[in-house]
């Protein structure tokens, strides 16, 4: 049958063994943070340190997006003064950070997770509720699993 | 349905090439043919969308129109009847300031009414199943420390020293984040839910609270402004021509005064209330329930407060504006939630979606591969295979997939092959890896549903495994 060689094809043709959901961590309030607890289903696939590093970086990025500081206040006031029409021309700080996060996740997937048969889904696609990690089945008959 | 109607949808299904190696040309071609739906069209809540998903409002918008009418009419009357007098006799700054206020009020009203209040998208089926499993485990496990176990559909979390209960939402199938609440009118969970405002025609939540607050604040200013200057106008006129004739000259003023007088109490009162809420960083919900009231206990305090009134105000009004989580104008991705063809018994959780971006189209591809394998046998090699089709070719679109044009074969039971088959013309070439074939609607199908057509080539009774596979494939096809 087919030999798949790219991540796209992998997603379409590989079978999903399981999905793991990393839930939100609300202990610091309502800001977007995810639990760093290592799920047991990933024990055989990936290093605990690696996983925690990924989640911690994501948490830091989300914290940066929601940070209250001079910059966000300035942006808020400017927006109010221009009756929020300024957002027709420029992106909010939050959106800029979300793009950064998307790039980071893509990079993590390419470098670390795809070679291990895992796939991180950007939390924004799940309404910032969970980090969904898809575990693909091991292809037993020698087919290439990923890049 | 039949005849011309059959060929039309079938033409949409024309695959000019199926390559076993790469399916991406297929994808691109297919998505071009079928119109993609935007996510707002399949939104599960009870919201109304306008301007192709750009505007989002609650279902009942009657009161919103009343609000608009009241504001526009009152302001219009003010500008038409009172401003000329005031501009000439006092200062033209009055209509100018009034104009600015009016524009600001309307802008904030539209912003509060039309934007997404912070709706939380519902859980995907996988997430929901995962949560259900977890809840089941919680129930199964014994009581935790101290013998106390919270009821299964709640979770407790400690935020800044305060214990907060997270409730499970049965509609959205998620554990609600703190401060989120489910609006029964809109049937959505909303982040930092304040209240559902019928005047604004929308919920007031995390993303539009500042607009709502600025709206009521500016509206109270506008109301007071109009009231004050209409009274001034009447008084000035009365001093010139007498009270009754002043009223006769400017009848609109009476209406304006009445409207403003009755509005001022409620709107100014509401502004004051929300100023207090912002200062203490509470939602209307929390305040009404007394969640963080000191009356509940000495140790009860608001864990979300930033400490000072100024900090709370800045956070509420000038903080970063989170983006919408529901992506209303995005396109629906063709994910098909189908049960996994293989079951992994040992795995903790089996996804109900065997392939992440699997769609009906991929089922088609799989099934046609079976057909090709079967066709590659000596019996069927290089023969034109015509399989009879039924009225399943009526072209009824299925929900949301690129294969929407593929007739939903729900009408035809997935029984023996001849009853649920496609009209197909297969060309099998013995290439090493690739196969080319073409599905085409045949005009012969224009005859009434030929459910009874048997095709000797696909004898279901055949013991040949390849034939069985092709049968399975064709059955799968028909169930798409």
Q: Does B301 touch chain A (CB under 8 A)?
A: no
Annotate A56-86 with DSSP letters as a single string: HHHHHHHHHHT--SHHHHHHHHHHHHTTTGG
Residue B420 has pLDDT above 70, yes or no: no
How high is the pLDDT of residue B253? 87
Which residues have a Cβ under 8 Å from the Cβ of B216 and sit 6 or more positions away?
B267, B270, B271, B274
Query: Which 3-state string (H, E, C) describes chain B?
Result: CCCHHHHHHHHHCCCCCCCCCCCHHHHHHHHHHCCCCEHHHHCCCCCEEECCCCEEECCCCHHHHHHHHHHHHHHHHHHHHHHHHHHHHCCCHHHHHHHHHHHHHHHHHHHHHHCCCCEECCCCHHHHHHHHHHHHHHHHCCCCHHHCCCCCCEEEEEECCEEEEEEEECCCCEECCCCCEEECCCCEEECCCCEEECCCCEEECCCCHHHHHHHHHHHHHHHHHHHHHHHHHHHHHHHHHCHHHHHHHCCHHHHHHHHHHHHHHHHHHHHHHHHHHHHHCCCHHHHHHCCCCHHHCCCCCCCCCCCCHHHHHHHHHHCCCCCCCCCCCCECCCCCCCCCCCCCCCCCCCCCCCCCCCCHHHHHHHHHHHHHHHHCCCCCCCCCCCCCCCHHHHCCCCCCCHHHHCCCHHHCCCCCHHHCCCCCECCCCCCCCCCCCECCCCHHHHCCCCCCCCCHHHCCCCCCHHHHHHHHHHHHHHCC
C-alpha Rg value of chain B to the nearest Å: 33
Lowest mean pLDDT among B322-331, B332-341, B369-378: B332-341
- Which amino acids of B are annotated catalytic? 197
Residue A75 has pLDDT above 50, yes or no: yes
Flag whether pLDDT at B28 surpasses 70. no
CB-side exposure of A97: number of CA atoms within 13 Å? 20
Does the pTM surpass 0.80? The reply is: no
Of the candidate ranges A12-16, A34-38, B64-68, the one whose mean pLDDT is the lowest: A12-16
Contact A97/B at CB under 8 A: no
Question: Residue A134's beta-bridge partner residues?
Answer: A19, A119
Q: Which of B24, B159, B214 sits opposite A27 (nearest CB)?
A: B159
Give me the residue from B24, B124, B356 closest to A126, CB to CB: B124
Range in B8-17, B33-42, B56-65, B467-476 the model is least confident about: B8-17
Give which of B215, B323, B55 is closest to A80, Cα–Cα. Answer: B215
Q: What is the mean pLDDT of chain B?
A: 72
Q: Write out pLDDT tens, residues B90-135.
A: 888 999 999 999 999 999 999 999 999 999 999 988 888 888 888 8
From A100's Cα to the closest Cα of chain B, the distance in A is 14
Q: Are B473 and B371 in contact (CB under 8 A)?
A: yes
Contact A68 B159 (CB under 8 A): no
Q: Is B159 on the interface with A (CB under 8 A)?
A: yes
H helix or E strand, kind and range, residue A94: helix A93-108
| Min distance B262 CA to chain A CA atoms (Å) | 28
Kindly list the residues from chain A whose CB atom is less than 8 angstroms away from the CB atom of residue B192. Answer: 30
Residue A145 three-state SS = coil
Q: What is the full DSSP assignment across A21-56?
A: EEEB--TT-SS--B--PPPGGGTTTS-HHHHHHHHH
* Residue in A with minimal Cα distance to B327: A125
The pLDDT tens digits of the residues spanning B454-479 come to 444 444 445 566 556 656 656 555 55
pLDDT tens sequence across B270-294: 999 999 999 999 899 888 888 887 7
The owner of tokens 């009476």 is B254
Average pLDDT over residues B190-201: 92
> Per-residue pLDDT averaged across B343-365, rounded?
46
Could you identify the residue written with the tokens 């590989």?
A14
Pick the more confident residue, B213 or B136: B213
Instruction: Using a CB–CB cutoff of 8 Å, tell me whether A64 touches chain B.
Output: no
pLDDT, tens digit (0-9, with 9 covering 90-100), for B56-72: 999 889 999 999 999 99
The residue of chain A nearest to residue B342, with distances taken between CA atoms, is: A15
Is the pLDDT at B201 greater than 90, yes or no? yes
Cα B281 to Cα B298: distance, rounded to the nearest angstrom: 19
The region of weakest confidence among A39-43, B119-123, B180-184, B258-262 is: A39-43
Only one residue has tokens 């106008």, namely: B233
- Residue B436 to residue B473: CA distance in whole angstroms: 17
Minimum Cα–Cα distance from B214: chain A residue: A80
Contact between residue B158 and residue B164 where contact means Cβ atoms under 8 Å apart: yes
């Amino acid at each position: 049958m087919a030999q798949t060689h790219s991540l796209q094809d992998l997603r379409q043709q590989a079978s999903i063994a399981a999905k793991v959901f990393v839930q939100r961590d609300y202990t610091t309030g309502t800001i977007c943070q995810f639990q760093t607890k290592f799920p047991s289903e990933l024990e055989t696939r990936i290093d605990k340190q690696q996983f925690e590093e990924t989640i911690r970086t994501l948490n830091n990025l989300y914290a940066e997006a929601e940070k209250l500081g001079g910059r966000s206040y300035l942006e808020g006031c400017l927006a109010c003064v221009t009756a929020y029409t300024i957002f027709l021309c420029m992106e909010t700080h939050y959106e800029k950070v979300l793009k950064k996060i998307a790039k980071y996740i893509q990079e993590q997937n390419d470098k670390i997770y795809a070679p291990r048969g895992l796939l991180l889904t950007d939390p924004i696609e799940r309404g910032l509720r969970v980090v969904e990690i898809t575990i693909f089945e091991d292809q037993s008959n020698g087919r290439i699993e990923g890049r | 349905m039949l005849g011309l109607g059959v060929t039309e949808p079938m033409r949409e299904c024309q695959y000019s090439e199926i390559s076993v190696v790469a399916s991406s040309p297929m994808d691109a071609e297919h998505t071009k043919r079928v119109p993609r739906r935007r996510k707002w069209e399949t939104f599960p809540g009870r919201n109304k969308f306008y301007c192709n998903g750009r505007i989002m409002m609650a279902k009942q918008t009657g009161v919103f129109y009343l609000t608009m009418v009241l504001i526009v009419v009152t302001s219009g009357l003010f500008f038409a009847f009172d401003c000329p007098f005031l501009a000439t006799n006092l200062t033209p700054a009055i209509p100018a300031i009034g104009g600015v206020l009016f524009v600001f009020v309307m802008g904030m009203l539209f912003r509060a009414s039309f934007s997404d209040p912070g709706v939380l998208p519902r859980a995907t089926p996988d997430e929901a199943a995962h949560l259900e499993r977890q809840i089941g485990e919680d129930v199964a496990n014994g009581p935790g420390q101290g013998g106390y176990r919270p009821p299964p559909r709640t979770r407790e979390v400690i935020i800044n020293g305060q214990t907060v209960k997270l409730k499970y939402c049965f509609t959205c199938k998620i554990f609600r984040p703190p401060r989120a609440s489910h609006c029964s009118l809109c049937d959505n969970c909303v982040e930092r839910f304040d209240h559902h405002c019928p005047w604004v025609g929308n919920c007031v939540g995390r993303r539009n609270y500042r607009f709502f607050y600025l709206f009521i604040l500016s509206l109270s200013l506008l109301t007071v402004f109009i009231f004050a200057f209409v009274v001034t106008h009447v008084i000035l006129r009365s001093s010139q021509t007498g009270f009754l004739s002043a009223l006769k000259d400017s009848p609109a003023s009476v209406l304006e005064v009445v409207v403003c007088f009755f509005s001022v109490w409620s709107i100014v009162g509401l502004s004051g209330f929300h100023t207090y809420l912002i200062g203490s960083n509470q939602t209307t919900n929390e305040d009404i329930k007394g969640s963080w009231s000191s009356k509940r206990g000495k140790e009860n305090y608001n864990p979300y407060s930033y400490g000072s009134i100024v900090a709370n105000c800045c956070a509420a009004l000038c903080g970063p504006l989170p983006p919408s989580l529901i992506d209303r104008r995005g396109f629906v991705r063709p994910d098909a939630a189908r049960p996994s063809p293989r079951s992994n018994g040992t795995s903790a959780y089996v996804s109900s979606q065997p392939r992440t971006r699997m769609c009906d189209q991929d089922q088609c591809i799989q099934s046609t591969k079976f057909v090709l394998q079967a066709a590659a046998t000596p019996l069927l090699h290089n023969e034109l295979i015509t399989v009879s089709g039924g009225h399943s070719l009526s072209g009824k679109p299925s929900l949301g997939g690129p294969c929407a044009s593929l007739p939903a074969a729900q009408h035809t039971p997935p029984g023996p092959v001849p009853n649920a088959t496609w009209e197909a013309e297969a060309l099998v070439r013995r290439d090493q890896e690739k196969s080319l074939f073409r599905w085409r609607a045949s005009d012969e199908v224009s005859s009434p549903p030929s459910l009874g057509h048997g095709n000797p080539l696909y004898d279901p009774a055949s013991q040949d495994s390849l034939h069985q596979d092709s049968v399975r494939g064709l059955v799968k096809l028909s169930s798409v």
